């Protein structure tokens, strides 16, 4: 639980000129007496590409802090344009309001800031060198981004829990009570079962191999199958057929079919084409 809670922030001069100071009205609540002061800072982000252009506009120490609701005014200088790239002066950027206790940041509020010229003519055609005196800033105060951090305040009880927590009793456990011992035993039993199963499969495979060998021996020593030999009576001697008989058969097909039969064979029908397309 945070000892200091931010209740609200009001920007008193918004919109304003780019060269005007930032003026914030800050309200917060303190739940117990603090030994040290609160440090508030305002940071301007000069460029989105590098943090080397960030500027700390101002910082303020507030204290001693009475218990209850407190309100004060925080005024910070405008950013120095000499430390901002010309290309990043116009457009959208960010300002960060932070608060720390004893060097430990516990709250951060971010605001978007839009910088543009006061006239539409300059916005439509901005000059190469920005005219800072004619630039106006507008802080989007209604859409802040608030981030809170748990820190240690004055007492150890307020310190956030460490992660992972210390477990000194874990070093005092006996070896047989070591975490994961049951899991190791289960793994050993599974490995033994797997080894026994593999041994059974090996013996079964060996027995099957012996049986196959015996069957192979029976086939080799027994009578050959009739299907393995072709009888001379069933064989066809193509060489004994005369060329005259083959020619007569071919001529008979051509005469019976005629030219129409040849045309049908050479030009497949639409149905046959469709079957070929589906097959591909």
Domain count, the chain: 2
Domain membership flag for residue 276: no
- Examine residue 265 and state whether it is found in any structural domain, yes or no: no
Q: Evaluate whether residue 89 is within a structural domain.
A: yes
Please indicate, yes or no, whether residues 208 and 75 belong to a single structural domain of this protein. Answer: no
Q: Are 96 and 110 in contact (CB under 8 A)?
A: yes
Q: Residues 65, 37: contact at Cβ < 8 Å?
A: yes
Q: Is the peptide bond before 40 cis (omega within 30 degrees of 0)?
A: no
According to the model, what pLDDT value does residue 142 have? 92
Write down the pLDDT at residue 154: 85
pLDDT tens figures, 115-129: 999 999 999 999 999
49, 91 contact by CB (below 8 A): no
Supply the CATH number for residue 27's domain: 2.60.40.1490
Q: How far is CA 244 from CA 219, 237, 240, 241, 247, in A?
A: 47, 16, 11, 8, 5
Same domain flag for 19 and 151: yes
Answer whether residue 32 is part of any domain: yes
The confidence band for 178, taking pLDDT boundaries of 50, 70 and 90, is very low
* Per-residue model confidence as pLDDT tens digits over 167-176: 555 555 554 4
> Mean pLDDT across the chain, nearest whole number?
74
Q: For 18-48, what is each residue's pLDDT tens digit?
A: 999 999 999 999 999 999 999 999 999 999 8
Verdict on whether the full-model pTM lies above 0.85: no
Q: Tens digit of pLDDT for each residue in 205-217?
A: 554 555 454 444 4
- Counting Cα atoms < 13 Å in the Cβ hemisphere of 143 gives 7
Q: Are residues 65 and 193 in the same domain?
A: no
Q: Same domain for 22 and 133?
A: yes
- Same domain, yes or no: 133 and 197: no
Q: Are residues 18 and 110 in the same domain?
A: yes
Assess if residue 278 is contained within a domain: no
Checking if the pLDDT of 245 tops 50, the result is no
- Both 212 and 122 in a single domain? no
Is 212 part of a structural domain of the chain?
yes
pLDDT for res 221: 45
What distance in Å separates the CA atoms of residue 57 and residue 45, rounded to the nearest whole number?
10
Q: N- to C-terminal Cα distance for the chain?
A: 74
Containing structural domain, residue 16: 4-158
- According to DSSP, the β-strands at 91-101 and 135-139 are unpaired
In a domain, 204, yes or no: yes
| 102, pLDDT greater than 80 | yes
> Which distant-in-sequence residues (6+ apart) come within 8 Å of 110 by Cβ?
94, 95, 96, 97, 144, 145, 146, 147
Are 140 and 196 within one domain? no
């Amino acid at each position: 639980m945070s000892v200091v809670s931010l209740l609200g922030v009001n920007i008193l001069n918004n919109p304003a000129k780019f060269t005007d100071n930032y003026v914030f009205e800050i309200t917060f609540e303190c739940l117990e007496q603090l030994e040290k002061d609160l440090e508030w800072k305002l940071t301007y982000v000069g460029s989105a590409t590098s943090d080397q252009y960030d500027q700390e506009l101002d910082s303020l120490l507030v204290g001693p802090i009475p218990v209850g609701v407190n309100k004060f005014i925080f005024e910070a200088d405008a950013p120095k344009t000499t430390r901002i790239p010309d290309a990043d002066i116009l457009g959208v950027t960010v300002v960060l309001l932070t608060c720390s206790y004893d060097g430990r940041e516990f709250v951060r509020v971010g605001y978007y800031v839009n910088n543009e010229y006061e006239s539409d003519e300059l916005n439509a055609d901005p000059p190469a060198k920005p005219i800072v005196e004619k630039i106006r800033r507008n802080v989007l105060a209604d859409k802040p981004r608030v981030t809170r951090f748990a820190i240690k305040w004055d007492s150890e009880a307020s310190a956030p829990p460490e992660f992972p927590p210390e477990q000194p009793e874990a070093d005092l456990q006996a070896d047989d009570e070591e975490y994961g011992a049951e899991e190791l035993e289960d793994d050993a039993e599974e490995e033994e079962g797997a080894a026994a199963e593999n041994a059974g499969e090996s013996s079964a495979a060996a027995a099957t191999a012996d049986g196959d060998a015996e069957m192979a021996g029976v086939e080799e020593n027994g009578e050959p199958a009739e299907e393995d030999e072709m009888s001379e009576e069933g064989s066809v001697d193509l060489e004994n057929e005369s060329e005259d008989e083959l020619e007569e058969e071919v001529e008979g097909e051509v005469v019976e079919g005629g030219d129409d039969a040849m045309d049908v064979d050479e030009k497949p029908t639409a149905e046959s084409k469709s079957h070929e397309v589906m097959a591909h």
